[in-house]
Structure 1
């Protein structure tokens, strides 16, 4: 027993040191970019079926290049059809590159990768664990979802590749999410982010290739692409909250804010800003729901409305600040997105577009139930135990 305890303590100590030193080195290297304000045309999708119908058609029409990064690519029929489409395009001479996060896409088999490469698809896993900071790099995720077609059409948002995202999963159906399609100046930024990630994971530098960056006409919507890699997201979100004068609406599957971010929401409530948080009632990961409860108790007491989505699973990553700023992207409202993950978000400043997003959020609220603070504070031994464990593990949930 003493030997086992010593081994456990040794492993635990090693993990802490690995995590601290790995994060310290990463912070010296992390590239966080706020691109200039651009003008593009955009469409927001909240249905996976509609999104992927459009997505597939645009890939089928590709003439020169298809660059895709997803956090999750699974091994179900929908994923196989997606990979087959990429193989077909590559076989016609279109350049196809696919990045997939090493953890999120672990179900992609060696045989599948060999088939992709044999067809001419350039494939790499992203954020592969490596020494000397093995534990830290295992925790890192490339959570971005980016597609760039012919350098002219771009996609980013919350959907991944798997049958649950088109409402064919075994549970948590239907799937509610937000994803953007972009044409115009901003596609250049998406292309640059993809190529930077490709270079990071393969050491192949294609960022200066002019054929990937055609001349793009300005669109009608003012926006800004924000790229974070385990730092700066917290400050970006705090900056958004500080601008709110009337209302803040946050849609997120995981609500586990940092101390500073949580305090900023409380200060917004103190200056009479209406704060609404939309989360799923049913979670897709253990303990993430319980991790949010301590924050919800305080926010409810101070006047926030916490809405639990009832119709399927809520995976949206969206923030609305008054009627002036909308944030849609890949970042969750949690510590992992703030301090570990690679994320990409888009800040949109167009009033008409924001009105459309607000209508979608109104649907989310209508299909949600207000969380009762008294019920959340009632005695429950199992919930209390889960909350205690979730609090310890919250940076990694």
Structure 2
């Protein structure tokens, strides 16, 4: 996607909606928050929308005739419509609210995988999968006898698509892949992966946790059978995520959780399931969180998803270039451009990533250090851990400069 002719974000105005970014610590340093791939900060409009729910129409949904329950039910149901519109789904029937991307992955793995997979079937993942995908399908493979295979990652941090074409075969039943790697920043050619899967009559699950927050996503254009993302990575609340599934596939799947609201009729002997998407949403759902997720979508679309993507790409390019110019820095993943999202994973020579993050914290610079829930990928990279700076709509180049200054201090401290 060309980022030319896109109006730059007014980052100063955006930051006003995030009081936490003004926080100063005991050493007088102001917070520089660069851990957005883990969780983004929440703007005032989202907090206000959730507060309005609790103050004005807090009630359970689908269970009351009174006004508050009706208002809450309408807001909750319309939240499904809003999410469907945001990602290009056909309607609310294709949107199931979950706690997060991990739960969405587990829902499909247990509801579809345990019933459909068996010995001789294959599950194809990538070497850059988050544990939410890798561990889940690994365990489903053990339970069903299905074989799990992995698409290689090249030395440049990209998927080896020739290898993907080789290992996705007529025995493949499911292909699960991240849209954007949370460790390498790689933007994967997910539409091509989906096409290869469908050529062999396999289903495709795309983990969009690192994509939906910062770029336009159209699930119909990608043609994935399942697509999932989390609210807390897109200026929304924690505790809510969304699973998109093609209606005919969701219709054929058994529920993952059982209880209230996911049923149509219950006797002492039998139960029948509710219509989509409610048959997958047992018990009291995340009502306030759904209200907050809608507010986050409205907020992001008001800024413009293309502009958000351009801003992150610019920050990632700047950070990559500044870090690449530093001595002793090893950067992971593709070079800057459309194939890299808004994060940079790296290590400083002779300094453990956890020690580096601790020194960053002394400078009020918040980054992530560890394996980022991608231990096998780190094994492939030959490192136990890495540091990660990840950006969002409220970050600036000046904050990248503070990151680099803190790294210089760490280098001197460990010299």
TM-score (norm 1): 0.28
Higher relative contact order (CA 8 A, sep 6+): 2
> Counting strand residues as a fraction of each chain, which structure ranks higher?
1
